[in-house]
Amino acid sequence: MNKEQAKELIRNTFESSFNKEKFVIFIKNLLNRIEKSPFMYRGNFISDAFKQYISTLERIGRVEPNPLPHLI
C-alpha cells in the first residue's frame, strides 16, 4: 500500500460513522499478523467505569507474535 492509499484508508475508516467492515480492513492493514479470533465480551469482562456506555465488546482477532523480531 502506498502513502496515498494509506491516507485514504484512514479517512474512510475514521472520518465517518463507525463501520465494522472498514475498521477490520484498517486493522488487517495496520497489523501484519492478525489471527481471526472473534469473541464477544459481556458483563464482567467490561470495566465498571465503562458499563454505562458499553453493553458488549467484540474482539476482531489476536495479534500473532513475531517469532523472529529481528527480521522485521
Report the pLDDT value the prediction gives residue 32, as an integer from 0 to 100: 75
Residues 38 and 68 in one domain: yes
Each residue's pLDDT tens digit, 38-66: 888 787 778 889 889 988 888 888 887 76
Report the pLDDT value the prediction gives residue 65, as an integer from 0 to 100: 72
Residues 37 and 65 in one domain: yes
Averaged confidence pLDDT in the chain: 85
Residue 48, domain extent: 33-72
Residues 18 and 46 in one domain: no
- Provide the Cα torsion 36, 6, 70, 65; round to 10°: -20
DSSP state of 16: S
Average pLDDT over residues 18-39: 87
pTM of this prediction exceeds 0.95: no
Residues 26 and 40 in one domain: no
Residue pair 56/42 in contact by the 8 Å Cβ criterion: yes
Residues 21 and 45 in one domain: no
Number of domain units in the chain: 2
Residues 43 and 12 in one domain: no
Residues 42 and 23 in one domain: no
